[in-house]
């Protein structure tokens, strides 16, 4: 586990899974499986599809469930003629606390650039939510020895113009693209080394503030590998994809200490 005093954060990215009725069942089951001590030990976040947000907001508030609500994406403008997009103020009204920014699927499938990621991150911070900024390399970049250079480049570009006081709420997620949904996982040592490089960028940009910013690992995280990953000093949590769809599996990931 990270020895820095940073509280771990485990976030579920459901991607395009679970309608609002299934979402209710999953969050209720998850709440039954987690104890007060689990929430004291780490922050738990669920990032469902947009269509589930209002339903889960109501559930979380009415049942006083200590799980934070996150969104998977947003536009950088507050309003306008952007059919199909959702703005940061809309998310803020739904008690959304975290917004995933720059996920590799958004970059690869929908053409997001470092510039648009930077705009989204700034907009999320402006509306007092915490971005979960994703960075990571492709298999080709990894095999050519460009892992560190790529994640450093992405981190600097996404945080351009963001000052230290504004950056403090940010969460970063190192997601090697070649490991997402493939069953392959970066070794804990490799993940820790790359996250250490990201931390180095943060220290260069923000000095001591960098040591308060949490950095997750993402990429085929499962109940069977989470404990080993969390033993690494630089890893402050996980951004979990497929294994987060099942409340039993996700609860086991959150309770990695048990």
Among 18, 24, 133, 19, which residue's Cα sits nearest to residue 74? 133
| All domains in the chain, ordered by first residue | 9-254 (3.20.20.70)
Q: Using the predicted structure, report yes or no on whether residue 258 has a pLDDT greater than 90.
A: no
Mean pLDDT of 199-211: 97
What are the two backbone dihedrals, phi and then psi, of residue 85, each rounded to the nearest 5 degrees? -100, 165
Question: Which of 18, 103, 105, 234 does the annotation list as catalytic?
Answer: 103
pLDDT at 21: 98
- How much of the chain exceeds pLDDT 90, in percent? 92
Tokens of 92: 């803020």
Please, is 1 exposed, middle or buried when counting C-beta atoms within 10 Å of its C-beta (0-12, 13-18, 19+)? middle
In angstroms, the CA 186 to CA 177 distance is 10
Of the two residues 90 and 258, the one the predictor is more confident about is: 90
Q: What is the pLDDT of residues 238-250, one digit of tens each?
A: 999 999 999 999 9
- 223 pLDDT band, cuts 50/70/90, is very high
Q: What is the pLDDT of residues 113-141, one digit of tens each?
A: 999 999 999 999 999 999 999 999 999 99
Q: Using the predicted structure, report yes or no on whether residue 3 has a pLDDT greater than 70.
A: no
Distances (CA, A) of 158 to 48, 56, 153, 202: 23, 29, 9, 12
pLDDT at 210: 97
Question: Which of 112, 137, 141, 175 does the annotation list as catalytic?
Answer: 175
Mean pLDDT of 103-111: 95
Q: What is the pLDDT of residues 145-173, one digit of tens each?
A: 999 999 999 999 999 999 999 999 999 99
Mean pLDDT of 50-56: 98
Residue 197, CB-side half-sphere exposure with 13 Å CA sphere: 19
Q: What is the pLDDT of residues 225-238, one digit of tens each?
A: 999 999 999 999 99
Q: Using the predicted structure, report yes or no on whether residue 4 has a pLDDT greater than 80.
A: no
Q: Using the predicted structure, report yes or no on whether residue 10 has a pLDDT greater than 70.
A: yes
Q: Using the predicted structure, report yes or no on whether residue 1 has a pLDDT greater than 50.
A: no
Judged by DSSP in three states, 44 sits in strand
What single-letter DSSP state applies at residue 63?
T
Q: Using the predicted structure, report yes or no on whether residue 106 has a pLDDT greater than 80.
A: yes
Count of other CB atoms within 10 angstroms of residue 247: 19
Tokens of 246: 């099942």
Establish whether 127 is a catalytic residue. Answer: no
What are the two backbone dihedrals, phi and then psi, of residue 86, each rounded to the nearest 5 degrees? -130, 135
Average pLDDT, the chain: 96
pLDDT at 184: 80
In angstroms, the CA 254 to CA 23 distance is 18
């Amino acid at each position: 586990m990270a020895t820095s005093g940073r509280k771990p954060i485990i976030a579920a990215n459901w991607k395009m899974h679970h309608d609002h009725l299934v979402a209710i069942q999953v969050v209720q089951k998850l709440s039954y499986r987690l104890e007060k001590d689990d929430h004291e030990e780490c922050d738990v976040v669920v990032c469902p599809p947009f269509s589930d947000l209002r339903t889960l907001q109501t559930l979380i508030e009415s049942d006083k469930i200590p799980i934070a609500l996150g969104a998977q994406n947003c536009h950088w403008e507050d309003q306008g003629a952007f059919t199909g997009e959702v703005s940061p103020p809309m998310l803020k009204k739904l008690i959304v606390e975290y917004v995933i920014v720059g996920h590799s699927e958004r970059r690869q499938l929908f053409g997001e650039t470092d510039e648009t990621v930077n705009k989204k991150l700034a907009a999320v911070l402006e509306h007092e939510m915490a971005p979960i900024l994703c960075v990571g390399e492709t298999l080709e970049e990894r095999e050519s020895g460009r892992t560190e250079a790529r994640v450093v480049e992405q981190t600097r570009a996404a945080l351009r113009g963001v000052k230290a006081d504004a950056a403090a709420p940010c969460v970063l997620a190192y997601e090697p693209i070649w490991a997402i949904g493939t069953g392959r996982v970066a070794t804990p040592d490799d993940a820790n080394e790359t996250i250490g490089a990201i931390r180095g960028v943060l220290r260069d940009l923000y000095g001591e503030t960098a040591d308060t910013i949490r950095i997750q690992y993402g990429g085929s995280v499962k109940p069977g590998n989470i404990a080993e990953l969390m033993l690494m000093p630089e890893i402050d949590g996980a951004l979990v994809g497929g294994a987060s769809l099942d409340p039993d599996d996700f609860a086991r990931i959150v309770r990695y200490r048990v």
